[in-house]
């Protein structure tokens, strides 16, 4: 996978985390959003950001789809 893919994963994680944080601020006075939903949004977005950062550093080479196919000269 190229760098743009990992950057996209990081941006998606930031978006999900931000959505959870904004929902938390809006729901402070109201009980429209369940607490576990906010935890899943914030934690899931943070984990997604960490996965993107690790992938961008190149540590995700063990994933078969992340490796480039080796071309032989034969």
Q: What is the mean pLDDT, run by run of 10 residues, along the chain of 74 residues? A: 84 90 71 79 91 82 59 48
- Number of alpha helices (DSSP H) and beta strands (DSSP E) in the chain: 2, 0
CA 42 vs CA 21, 22, 68: distances in Å:
7, 10, 33
Q: Does the pTM of the predicted model rise above 0.75?
A: no
Taking the CA atoms of 56, 62, 65 and 68 in sequence, report the sign of the dihedral they define. positive
The domain spans of the chain are 3-60
Distance CA 52, CA 44 (A): 12
């Amino acid at each position: 996978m190229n760098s743009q893919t990992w950057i996209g994963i990081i941006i998606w994680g930031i978006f999900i985390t931000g959505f959870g944080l904004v929902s938390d601020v809006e729901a402070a006075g109201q009980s429209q959003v369940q607490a576990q939903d906010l935890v899943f949004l914030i934690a899931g977005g943070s984990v997604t950001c960490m996965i993107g950062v690790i992938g961008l550093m190149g540590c995700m080479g063990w994933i078969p789809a992340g490796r480039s196919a080796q071309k032989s000269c034969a």
